[in-house]
Amino acid sequence: MTDIEKIIEEATISLPRPLKREEAEKMLKYIAQEMPANVIFKTEHFKNFLNEEGKVKLYEGTLKINGTIVNKAKPFTLEYFSLEPSSHQTELVDKLVFNMVGSDGLEGYSQGIRELRERTRTVVGQYFAKEVFPKITQKNKA
């Protein structure tokens, strides 16, 4: 694996399923609670109303969320991220991508940044596990 492939792999968290804006914000809140961290973000969501033969329909377009995760335990450890639109349904996001600028290979990122990324990956995994497993348990009880 090349250095650039390693950087991309470490900087990208693929989500188990695409998320709508509200769901993505719920996941970011979970990250803030569980890390603990401050999560500051801006949402861009293209929408339009189209009048088709007298009926107005809302069409949702590209969703993108950009922000910063600030580690509460280490306040000067922060990392920029974006939740990227799905290539199949751009109104959904399907991966969290950390900043990949200004590094000379993985060694160019501080240990604090690398730990923040790994902790975020763990918390995102926990978020989806919590989401899925209670539903399976409820089905088994029925």
- What is the residue-averaged pLDDT of the chain? 89
Whole-prediction pTM:
0.84
Mind listing the pLDDT tens digit for each residue in 47-60? 999 999 999 999 99
Q: Let me know: does 67 contact 81? Beta carbons within 8 Å.
A: yes
Q: What is the pLDDT of residue 137?
A: 47
Percent of the chain residues topping a pLDDT of 90? 70
Strands 93-98 and 12-19: antiparallel
Q: What is the pLDDT of residue 62?
A: 95
Mind listing the pLDDT tens digit for each residue in 76-116? 899 999 999 999 999 999 999 999 876 566 677 888 998 99
